[in-house]
Structure 1
Amino acid sequence: MADVASDFGEAVISGLSQPRRIIPARYLYDVRGSELFEQITRLPEYYPTRTETLLLKRHAADLGRLSGRGRPVVEFGAGSAAKTPLLLDATGATTYVPIDISKEFLEGAMARLAAARPALRIVPIAGDFTHPLKLPPLAGPLTGFFPGSTIGNFDHRSAVNLLRSLRQTLGPAASLVIGIDSRKNSRLLEAAYDDAAGITAAFNLNLLQRINRELDGTIPIDAFEHRAVWHDGLGRVEMHLVANRDVAFAAAGRRFSMGAGETIHTENSYKYTLEEARLLARASGWEPLAFWTDPDGLFGLHVWTAASDELQP
């Protein structure tokens, strides 16, 4: 497994050294970032969590039938696993393998789940699922769970590569239950990533605080502001940290400077039409089986199966 702390330092140095500064979104999720994201999921503006939860409840019987009853469930980016029991109940799974980058947050979440479900076999993996991961020995075909539209954090090429990697990880005859956010009114999208309570702003700014904590950073947090903007042509919401004045600071043993108005690009969240989502599936070695959405078309829940052609290395 990769050294996450070392990877973080390398990503910060590389990202802040580019003409257009960017730090990958996965580094937003330290313990504090994960806690803030859980708060985001409960905000009135943030529709994905409650909509996906509704779909998981409403279509539980079909989920169990299509994704395979009794199969071990492997969740990529488990977080608090708040939605996971819905899929475990729908499929009758007795083994659960949660994967998350934040080891401390994962351990706490799994302790709570184990207390609530003592008969469930839980095999947690603290790691970055964007890199190949070896699963423990598991019986039979597997069901992957990739909720929350996390796939939207990746550009199209990276999304295809990741989904191919997940297919390799899960193995032959696997199924994948995946949540994918839908294209919609730009005001709804921007509000979901820039809430009135300022929780998303705190989540974004926590990345700078993490740099200061873990990489001996000297970033003045008040020199930056959160910004979320929808790019219709690219089909994505972008999150940035915008310098509100000229600023110089150290991080990971390097010196950096930014002018007022310059930004650090911290996250993309791509939105998909149904047709685009199905193209994404087929391009990455999956075959769409089912799709459900809410009456307002805010969010989509998909079930895919591994395509029948031989898995490629």
Structure 2
Amino acid sequence: MNVHAPLAEAKLDPATTAFAADVTEALSQQPKKLSPKYFYDEAGSQLFEQITKLPEYYPTRTELGILRARGKDICSIIPKDAALVEFGAGATTKVRLLLEQCSFGAYVPVDISGDFLADQAAELRKDFPTLDVLPVNADFTTTFDLPTDVKAMPKVGFFPGSTLGNFDPHEACAFLRSARQILGKGALMLIGIDLEKDERVLQAAYNDAAGVTGEFNKNVLVRINRELGGDFDLGAFVHRAIYNKERHRIEMHLIAKKPQTVHLLGRSFNFRAGESIHTESSYKYSMERFGALARGSGWEPKSSWTDAEEQFSVHALVAVE
């Protein structure tokens, strides 16, 4: 008897149904892959926060340094009482810097992880009692509606953390076009972009000595087992991150250590020893290549800021189409 059949036949909620469809399609492909957006359940979000504090992981502290050092410059180009819309809101460390330094009329965090989003919104309401905090539980890579209360306000998008680098270039272009449609013509977008650098720095950042990134990577399998009734053996997969020079990107993989069959939603997926599940890409841009991508997506670069070592960058874009 197939122990996974009952779950396969059960009526799933819409979010789980979408998760199931994406996972079964992705694992049916060659090579196998999974979307990085499914890293971020509550456990995954907490693991990523641990990653941001690791000594090898430079992006978070470097971006925070830029936001602190250039906060006045950034705030000077933001319309007063605008609605700040954060795509893929996680921990509030970065957005707090903007909320403390700039005058916003509302904050709209958008994220697929509803419980984590609600907790963060509650904390912000305590610390910013005069600010309207209006969370939207949605997949920020798709079109969603802004709350009615902010539709008449000037809009400022916020997309920190070099999350755009997780998208292939055509996907990044599609996201920027979608964000432009949601925010409207004339809107501002503040976006964090990781820059090209010495490969050794990248290798260390994504293969940390403490193994937290590996645990974060494997958490997507934990989630599949828990939510979709899968039987992935976590010990039979190993985390590996490599730098693809030709495509300017770090690739995260889960490598099968032995031949095995995984069961999921009434289906079977076979793995060869050494076969990979590609779980995430993280593209690194030059300033010029990112500017070209932005222009091709309906945004005009307005300003940009980097750290002294030019490891990371923050860009202000204006929606022009």
TM-score by structure 2 length?
0.94
The separation in 1 between residues aligned to 2:195 and 2:158, in whole angstroms, is 18
Alignment correspondent of 1:47: 58
Structure 2 contact 81–154 (Cα < 8 Å) conserved: no
Q: Secondary structure at the match of 1:72?
A: strand
1:15: Cα distance to partner? 0.8
1:26 matched to 2:37: yes
1:111: Cα distance to partner? 1.2
What residue identity is the alignment partner of 1:292? W
What residue identity is the alignment partner of 1:282? R
TM-score by structure 1 length?
0.96
Among all aligned residue pairs of Structure 1 and Structure 2, give the percentage whose two residues are the same amino acid: 47
The separation in 2 between residues aligned to 1:145 and 1:3, in whole angstroms, is 27
Out of 75, 78, 81, the position equivalent to 1:67 is: 78
Superposition pairs of residues 1-313 of structure 1, within 5 angstroms: 3-137=14-148, 138=150, 139-307=152-320, 309=321
1:252: Cα distance to partner? 2.4
1:28-54 deviation digits (Å, cap 9, x = unpaired): 111111110011111111111111111
1:244: Cα distance to partner? 0.6
Q: Gaps (5+ residues) in structure 1? A: none
1:257-300 deviation digits (Å, cap 9, x = unpaired): 10110010000000100001100110111110111111111100
Q: Gaps (5+ residues) in structure 2? A: 1-12
1:8: Cα distance to partner? 0.9
What residue identity is the alignment partner of 1:293? T
The separation in 2 between residues aligned to 1:39 and 1:143, in whole angstroms, is 28
Structure 1 contact 67–177 (Cα < 8 Å) conserved: no
Q: Secondary structure at the match of 1:83?
A: helix
Give 4+ residue runs of structure 1 displaced > 3 Å after superposition. none
1:67: Cα distance to partner? 2.8
Structure 1 contact 67–303 (Cα < 8 Å) conserved: no
1:89: Cα distance to partner? 2.5
Alignment correspondent of 2:10: none
1:69: Cα distance to partner? 2.8
> What's the RMSD between the two structures over aligned residues?
1.1
The separation in 1 between residues aligned to 2:265 and 2:203, in whole angstroms, is 32
1:256: Cα distance to partner? 1.0
1:251: Cα distance to partner? 1.4
What residue identity is the alignment partner of 2:175? L
Q: Secondary structure at the match of 1:19?
A: coil
What residue identity is the alignment partner of 1:268? S
The separation in 1 between residues aligned to 2:265 and 2:313, in whole angstroms, is 40
- Count of equivalent residues: 307
